[in-house]
Amino acid sequence: MGNILLAIDPVAFSSGPISVRWYGIIIVSGIILAYIVGQHEGKKRGLPEDFFGDLLLWAIPISIICARLYYVMMKWDYYGQNPGRIIEIWNGGIAIQGALIGAIVTAFIFCHVKGVSFLKVADIAAPSILIGQIIGRWGNFMNQEAFGGPVSREFLESLMLPNWIIEQMYIHDLGTYVHPTFLYESLWNFVGLIILLFLRRVNLQRGEMFFSYLIWYSIGRFFIEGLRTDSLYLVGELRSAQVVSVLLIIIGIVCIVYRRLKVRPIVRYLDK
């Protein structure tokens, strides 16, 4: 193993006792780019200029709280015995699906208060959500987390990955290379982003961009979750992320079919 490089330092820089981690930088960068894209499209679709900025002021902290609560609930055997550690979010332990649920609920309430169609906003925001997820998964790469089971170096090389990714997928504590599931999900979401941008031109019915996002993301998450070694479990071998993914797929399909059959008049994505 003499040719194996040291793992990438997850700390970007430090100033005295304060350390800034690449994870935080990457997550914030994803949020900023997602906001810029959503803001640009929102203005084209007639939303107030400050709409997404005001929404994020609520959605970001609530999503973080929900992501933590989701994780704590799935690990209640531990946190029930150690309640003082529930707030120790700086030690890791958040779940993206919890954040997604929190963001959706927050956006629904926010839109209701502002008198704006939630589905219109959700359609506009769907590509931006994927942008945030595409970039955010690279934070997991920097932390060497959210990876899959053992694989050989030859397997990773067969994927034509650059050496700096292959080296980071060697987990010293395990003494083995692992599936780069962060990359699988990032690439899956990138393909989903291309699909959603194409669907804008198709001018789907209102809500179908958002529901298509739920379906696409959840299909990928279901299968990729099966490769991961850090899954949260409901009972036995039942992975919570896979259960939530199935539910979101069903919800997305049912909503599309119901609205196609029952909702009149038909309002489309490009309608203001």
Q: What is the pLDDT along the chain (272 residues), one digit of tens a residue?
A: 444 455 688 898 988 888 889 999 999 999 999 999 999 999 999 999 999 999 999 999 999 999 999 999 999 999 999 999 999 887 778 899 999 999 999 999 999 999 999 999 999 999 999 999 999 999 999 999 999 999 999 999 999 999 999 999 999 999 999 999 999 999 999 999 999 999 999 999 999 999 999 999 999 999 999 999 999 999 888 999 999 999 999 999 999 999 999 999 999 999 87
Closest of 122, 152, 155 to residue 41, by C-alpha: 122
What pLDDT is stored for residue 3 in this prediction? 47
DSSP state, 268? B
Inter-residue contact 45 to 124 (CB < 8 Å): yes
Inter-residue contact 125 to 38 (CB < 8 Å): yes
The dihedrals phi and psi of 159, each to the nearest 5 degrees, come to -85, 0
Number of domains making up the chain = 1
Range of the domain at 103: 20-203
In a domain, 31, yes or no: yes
Angle at the Cα of 126 (from 121 to 130), degrees rounded to 5?
150
In a domain, 95, yes or no: yes
What pLDDT is stored for residue 4 in this prediction? 45
> Long-range pairs for 197-205 at CB < 8 Å and ≥24 separation?
197/127, 199/269, 200/127, 200/269, 200/270, 203/268, 203/269, 203/270, 204/268, 204/269, 205/259, 205/260, 205/263, 205/266, 205/267, 205/268, 205/269
In a domain, 214, yes or no: no
**Chain centroid to CA 66:** 13
Inter-residue contact 65 to 105 (CB < 8 Å): no
In a domain, 84, yes or no: yes
Q: Which pTM was predicted? A: 0.93
Helix, strand, coil % in the chain, rounded to nearest 5: 65, 10, 25
Inter-residue contact 93 to 61 (CB < 8 Å): no
Inter-residue contact 66 to 102 (CB < 8 Å): yes
What pLDDT is stored for residue 6 in this prediction? 57
In a domain, 99, yes or no: yes
In a domain, 156, yes or no: yes
The amino acid at residue 172 is H
